[in-house]
Structures are given as structure tokens and as C-alpha cells.
Amino acid sequence: MNELLIGLVGALIATNQPLAVSNLTQPNAGVPVTMANPNDPAEKALAELMARDDEVLAEVDKWIRDNNAFAAQGAGESKEALNQRIRARLDSVRKDYGDFLRRYPDFARGHLAYGSFLNDIGEEDAAVAQYGKAAQLDPKNPAAWNQLANYYGEHDPVTNAFVDYAKAIELNPAEPVYYRNLAATVYLFRKDAGVFYGITEEQIFDKALALYRKAMQLDPQNFLLATDYAESYYGIHPLRTNDALGAWTNALQIAHDDNEREGVSLHLARIKMAAGRFAEARAHLNDVTNAAFADVKHRLERNLAERENSATNTPATGVFTNAPVVPTNASNSGS
């Protein structure tokens, strides 16, 4: 399910559930569940159920979008009525999963799929119980361990996430999502990671960056992964200027369109400005013409002018004090 639906459904119906964290920390579920044996009745039934699951979630997504559009025009149904309709639709899928698992109680991937559905609708505590059951029934399924790790990364103990992501990687070392998830968790929970691994903060950064690079080695054309890696350099002080520029240059090379390329140009300008490479920074800013980036571009231009004026008296430090947040693309200004 898309991230917008997760947030909308969570806010609308999961009144007692914690909302998902920001996009920066939202983990990835891993590879889609594939049919191991198309002739197995359980496999066929699960495939049909998962297809219906996707259809219903897409339908609910459309209901919410349409109702928001109507509400903006002074129409649309009440939140209570929409809430009731959504609950009834999702409960029908919940019932189908219950029926399936009563028929196939030892089918691990059925529990995993049900857990994913529950997580999508904001029932994370119920979801983790299904992930645990899946891991118990099929301890060699890496997706189950990844899902457990995703839960513990948000709800604690985060050390369980370190252990479970490592287990997923051990079982499937060719899946980039597992390295990416572990990298983000190590990076975000540096204090816990330092105690768990017995390493310094500098070594924590090195570990997280190495995990990101492994994920990129396995998925070299993934632009969002490349930008996740590049953005991680902002948290390291002093700034590793050359490494950061290399990361953003790589992201620029695999960007899909002008929107993504201009977003990366803003990041390159920010880093080169902090490094005192003012002419190059201005050249990158001149490459940005998308109106969606105008506010950030203007703030960077003002910052650049101030740094140029004071350059003779104040050396560049590479520390991003009060620097504007730079989006990677126009559709996600919080990157």
C-alpha cells in the first residue's frame, strides 16, 4: 500500500494506534511474497486473497482522496460515515484472512501476508504477532525477520531490530532492502547501536554507510536509495565533503528526470557552498529552474551571498548551522 494511504487510514481509523514515522525512517517491507508452488491450493488461495487485499486498499485510498476533494468543495460525506464505510470494507478482508488461516493455520506466508495487511491499516501490535507466528513456522523466511525488525525499530527494543535485520540478511544476502533498513536503523539509533555493537559514533557512521553501499551495490539504479545514502552525510561532523559530493554525484547520474536532477543540484550546491566552493555552488543553483524549488533555491542563494561576503574573514567549516532543508525532488520537500 502506498505511503499516503498508510497515513490517511492510520489517522482516520486507528484512533488508539501510533502513527507511522516520517518517510525518512519508514522501513521497507522487503521483496513481494511470490508463489512458491502455483499448484498448491494454499498458494493459489493466498494469491487470490492478497490480490483482493490490494484491491480493497486501493479502493479505500480512492474513497479518501475523492472525499477530500469533495470536502474541499463543501461537499463529501462526514468523517464518521466514511470511517464506518472504511471499517466495513477492511473488516471484510480481515474476515477473509481469518478464514484462510483457519484452513491453513501452519502456512507461514499466510500469517506474513495478514501481518502486512494489519500493519497497513495501522494495527501494528496485531501485525507483529502474525510476523512472529510466521517466523516460528518458517524460521528460514527472511521477510518474516525483516518485518519483525521493522516493528522493533519503531516500538523497541531497537536491539531486536539489529538482530532480526541481520538474520534476514543472513538468510538472503542478495536482498538490498534488508541492508538499507539496517543501515537506517543503525544511523538513526546511534546510541543504541554503539552499545550493542561496542563501537564509537564514528564507527557507527562507517557501519551505516557501508550497509548503504552494499544495498546500492545490489540495486545500483535505485534513486531513492542513493539519496538516502547521500543525505546520511549531513549528520556527520565534520562533514566528509568529498564522500558526500561523490554520493550526490552518483545520485545525479541515476536521476530519472529533470525534477530529480534539479533536487540533487540543490544538495550539491549546499555542500559546495559549505566547503567554500562558491562558484561551483552558484552554477548548481543556476541549473535549478523548477518553480517547486524556488523557495529553497532563494534561501540557498541568500546563504551563499552571505558566505561569499564573509569568506575573507570566516573560513568555511562544512557545518550546516541553520542551513535550509533541501528537497531531493519537488514532490517530497522534506527530503
Task: Give the pLDDT confidence of 79-133 residue by residue, as tens digits.
Answer: 889 999 999 999 999 999 999 999 999 999 999 999 999 999 999 999 999 999 9
Question: How much of the chain, in percent, has pLDDT values that exceed 90?
Answer: 75
| Domain limits, the chain | 1-138, 220-335
Measured between alpha carbons, how far is 246 from 271 in angstroms, rounded to an integer? 11
- pLDDT of 224: 96
Phi and psi at 329, nearest 5°, equal -145, 165
Whole-prediction pTM: 0.81
Q: What is the mean pLDDT of residues 197-222?
A: 97
Span 284-313, mean pLDDT? 90
Q: Is the peptide bond before 238 cis (omega within 30 degrees of 0)?
A: yes
Are the C-beta atoms of 173 and 145 separated by less than 8 Å? Answer: no
Interval 19-69: pLDDT, tens: 222 233 345 554 445 556 777 899 999 999 999 999 999 999 999 999 999
Q: Check if the beta carbon of residue 247 is closer than 8 Å to that of residue 259.
A: no
